[in-house]
Amino acid sequence: EAGVTQFPSHSVIEKGQTVTLRCDPISGHDNLYWYRRVMGKEIKFLLHFVKESKQDESGMPNNRFLAERTGGTYSTLKVQPAELEDSGVYFCASSPRDPNTGELFFGEGSRLTVL
């Protein structure tokens, strides 16, 4: 069974440009999460989808970030326009319909460098 896949693995862009990160969760997992780790800081929650609905987006830093999950399958996270402080690793995770076990399955992350 394929795990959570993320694309691109690394993106280097200039300040002011736009980047779109993609996450393909494990097939059948209704829950999809985005987390990020900026340099030297702890991993922080961004948002949580249940199928195509945003269950919790309290961690989204500002309106330059837009996450979508059309059709309840893959998700995209767009940063527009990117700022220097957006640099970091963006992790996507998924979990089955019943998340009582709490275990999340993570992708390998998308490293974003904003110059």
Partner 1 sequence: SQQGEEDPQALSIQEGENATMNCSYKTSINNLQWYRQNSGRGLVHLILIRSNEREKHSGRLRVTLDTSKKSSSLLITASRAADTASYFCATVRMDSNYQLIWGAGTKLIIKP
Q: Is residue 1 a contact residue for partner 1 (CB under 8 A)?
A: no
Q: How far is CA 66 from the centre of its chain?
A: 10
Helix (H, G, I), strand (E, B) or coil at 99: helix
Rounded to a whole number of angstroms, the minimum distance from the CB of residue 46 to partner 1 is 10
Q: Is residue 56 a contact residue for partner 1 (CB under 8 A)?
A: yes
Q: Is residue 8 a contact residue for partner 1 (CB under 8 A)?
A: no
Task: Please report how many Cα atoms fall inside a 13 Å half-sphere around the Cα of residue 89, on the Cβ side.
Answer: 14
Q: Which of 44, 54, 73, 84 binds partner 1 (CB under 8 A)?
A: 44
Q: Which of 55, 80, 85, 97 binds partner 1 (CB under 8 A)?
A: 55
Bridge partners of residue 34, in order along the sequence: 47, 92
Q: Among 45, 28, 41, which residue's Cα sits nearest to residue 94?
A: 28
Enter the tokens of residue 92.
Answer: 């996507």
The residues of the shown chain that bind partner 1, judged by CB under 8 A, are 4, 31, 33, 35, 41-45, 48, 55-56, 58-59, 91, 93, 95, 99, 101-109
